[in-house]
Structure 1
Amino acid sequence: MDVDPRTELSEFLRSRRARLSPDDVGLPRYGRTRRVPGLRREELAQLAGVSVAYYTRLEQGNGRNVSDEVLDSIARALQLTDTEYTHLRNLTACPYDTTSRKKRKNHTREVRPALRNLLDTITVPAYVGGRRSDIYAWNPMAAALFGDWGQLAPRERNWARLIFLNPSYQSLFVNWESKAADIVGFLRMDAGCFQNDPELTELIGELSLKSELFRQLWAQHDVKEKSFGTKVFRHPLVGDMTLSYETLRMPSEPDLFLSTYHAEPGTASAEALQLLASWGKDATQISAGTQV
């Protein structure tokens, strides 16, 4: 499955327009019967203050030389979230240089020694990841929670493959469907910016062939940025834990991030996390991720 920039832009705009009704934007319902859900192109163009012909060209995937003012108007008309607006801008002009990285095999990407040393000093689960949901480095607590990723081939150290193709990870996350939707949203954001990445194209094609849920979620064109939140885990050693996660981008390498997981002090989850730490390497052997 190719990630074609024109198709991505076209299908994203169509999907966002389809979710709006005239009532949502204060337009009267009149004229011919609607055969498909959502606003018509001429209605969206009217709301955005552009010609129907101009918007039609944009929705057909011609996103070159679109001004910031036009993108702002279309985003307001489509009622895009901040994340969706970022995705729209990426589809028309990604701020990252994608061509210089086309041939890089990021599955084995080197992480700076200082960053690896930082991981080792963090006492909660933490790892360094990047685009395509690849995993590059992690600390012992991350291995205790998620399994020893070092036992996997570099290609398999990838959240999308783990979540959709590894049943043990489906058991680890209590709300696995939510995690799956997050992963697809992350991949959509990457597809909008890193459109010349053959490994991303390969990953999307593989998951589309092997997972019905992935195909359904991918077709929705929802996007998500890595930020913060909570996840509930059902660990085979210490039981249920509610952990908060934080995502920190690397300023010098914006496609890399550091993710940490921690529990609220004084809670049962904090006690479970401490128990997990006390097991050390033994926990790694029992954690869900080792059950491949």
Structure 2
Amino acid sequence: MASSVETTLKQSPRLLPASASPIGEYRRGGHSRRSLETTSIVDISPPEIVERRSSAWSGIAVETVEITRHEPFEYRFQAACHLLIAAELAERDDGETVLEGLPRSTLRDFTRKLTFVPAGHVFRGSQKPRVLSRTMYFYLDPTGPLADPALRFSEIEFKPRLFFYDRDLWEIALKLKSPVENPGSMHRQYVEALGILLTHEIIRMNSDSRRCGQAARGGLATWQQRRVADYIEEHMGDDIPLATLSELARLSPYHFCRSFKRSFGMPPHKYHAVRRIERAKQLLSNRELSVTAIALKVGFGETSTFTAAFHRFTGVSPSRYRSNLD
């Protein structure tokens, strides 16, 4: 958990560049060269007892951390980003946790507990682990592109919270763990949508936060629907960032997602996936194209991934679908 291993980001208001793409990375101790490349991992003493996996998108970085040996260790975090910590498994025989603004804690078992460290706050501690802990870390850029401007996310004075439980935050955290451990298992737009939800849930749980702006009640205007749909058709095989689609509609990502679903009956990431399969169906009628070539044309890096997605939407494999066209 938080009390397991801590990560520190450089004192920069930008967590990740706007062009950052999801990267899955595995490392034992030390630093990752690619994922979280604009961040600095704090020293964990001793560093060799830690294993990390991480992925990063625009405005959010996610890391899973595991302790590999039953040895005492220390940790520390302070950065210009917010940090949400989710402890999947965390028990200690001895130690303490200190979060600036709150009393220190010597809680022994904080499995399935959350901790929120507002930007700039000091978070540190030490412990003698009872079990080999597993923890998830979520680094949120206060000025990131996924934060709805209407929320004034960067202006909210968040309260620190130590060892609490919130079902909605926990469920989102578990969903965001998947693309870290299995890169490519989730569509980028879906991950970004989860990031937006995470931002809103953090605001909700903050008792002194400002009220969120009213979500758009209606769907997209006709020109917005046409513009977004045309863009998806033209970039069928690309990994389209949610921010790109929302900019085309001139809406914040949060309002765009809600309005898009009202208009199309499904979230943007699912609509894109459906359109890819529909395009694949058309291409399968061309016998000169192999299944592998079609997979690449519609944006799948591997034939097996394409086959699984095609079967999920149609109930048959691409090859069987093609044979049924005879």
TM-score, structure 2 as length reference: 0.25
Q: Which has the higher contact order (CA 8 A, sep 6+)?
A: 1
Q: Which has the higher helix share?
A: 1
TM-score, structure 1 as length reference: 0.27
Q: Which has the higher strand share?
A: 2
